[in-house]
Structure 1
């Protein structure tokens, strides 16, 4: 008797990945199972296994799909005349993608093979730095610092109060800052100085302030070379 042949899925890989992203956006990584995905698609679990070997591959491919949307933005940003401004816009676009999708940070750029779009975004950062008068080492350090900052802060802030209703965020921040103000002001003068700033800060504004500090250093290196 010839071996049984696996029935070919009636779904497409793009449809599977779009459904996976929808589940991740709605309910997070824990809700994404092959069973929940098959139920959303209207088929059996085997229809998903036809295209992806397991959940790790599914998550990497879903991440790459989202990063493909960012590549479209990056392609447009890269045409700008000012490379420093372009780096700022690229950093903000990546940050906003991470804070809009709380699950994204955990899987971003973890697989070169499964996430070619992540590498395209990284390349966009590098090509902007190549337009500056820097050495190869300076360019490598600049892109490493910028991308590490964006991904690190984006990952942290995606798990915080970003995106919650304003009244809920205000209550959360007030409670947190109350604990700051309980510290002895003589021993913690800086904590008391910035408590009001922290309570009312906006995450995107704070993120951009840090990114601007990094970019100021890159600009200074470029200008000093000239």
Structure 2
């Protein structure tokens, strides 16, 4: 083995995959997904791109690894629960909060629904359906509905937050949106007129949990749950 190859191998070993993923998350959180390039990451780590390629093949691999990391940490932090509904809510909120803090992770999962983190969420949620009393032949559909709801709403919430300029008054912005929906015709959209005030005042996190509860209530209809 030449001295140059040996030196490159030692440098790649010294720079762990965990440190590369950590640096990628730092860039993604601070500057967004567009800023994550191998050149930017190499500069951030004060190394050469070759040392990074030693561990991760391409940019999509970087995004996948970073997404795995933030979701794994979120799910690992979920407190142990004995009651099935409370356990499912805790899992859902852990994912919601992780994607709220790292919007790029939600965007990546929407493009890569086969990501292992999706399977882990599916497993965590589905594992509580039997104790909850959901019939065996309905558990797949229920777990699918919950997983899709959790990822879809969490991702959309994070995307909405990114679209608002810094310093935006959220309540005023939502009220303006509601007003725009109902201003064309005084007699149109009666439901929106009834709930317009709630739209401006609602809490995204509480509304998210309410949606989880609605799905669980439907899954357990007629089972005294």
When normalised by structure 1's length, the TM-score is 0.85
Measured after TM superposition, the shift of residue 117 of structure 1 is 4.7
Equivalent residue number for residue 128 of structure 1? 128
Q: How many residues align?
A: 217
Between the aligned partners of 1:172 and 1:161, the Cα distance in structure 2 is: 12
Residue 208 of structure 1 aligns to a residue whose secondary structure is: helix
**For residues 166 and 214 of structure 1, do their structure 2 counterparts lie closer, same or farther at Cα, with a shift above 3 Å needed?**
farther
When normalised by structure 2's length, the TM-score is 0.85
Measured after TM superposition, the shift of residue 22 of structure 1 is 1.0
Larger deviation, residues 62-71 vs 169-178: 169-178
Between the aligned partners of 1:173 and 1:142, the Cα distance in structure 2 is: 31
Summarize deviations over 1:175-225 as a string: whole Å, max 9, x none: 32231241323122112111111122221122122121112122335438x
Q: Does 2:96 align with 1:92?
A: no
**Unaligned stretches of 5+ in structure 1?**
none
Measured after TM superposition, the shift of residue 133 of structure 1 is 2.9
Summarize deviations over 1:89-109 as a string: whole Å, max 9, x none: 111111111112111112228
Measured after TM superposition, the shift of residue 43 of structure 1 is 0.6
Equivalent residue number for residue 200 of structure 2? 199
Measured after TM superposition, the shift of residue 164 of structure 1 is 7.5
CA RMSD of aligned residues (A): 2.5
Equivalent residue number for residue 104 of structure 2? 103
Equivalent residue number for residue 72 of structure 1? 76
Residue 205 of structure 2 aligns to a residue whose secondary structure is: helix
Between the aligned partners of 1:218 and 1:108, the Cα distance in structure 2 is: 25
Equivalent residue number for residue 51 of structure 1? 55
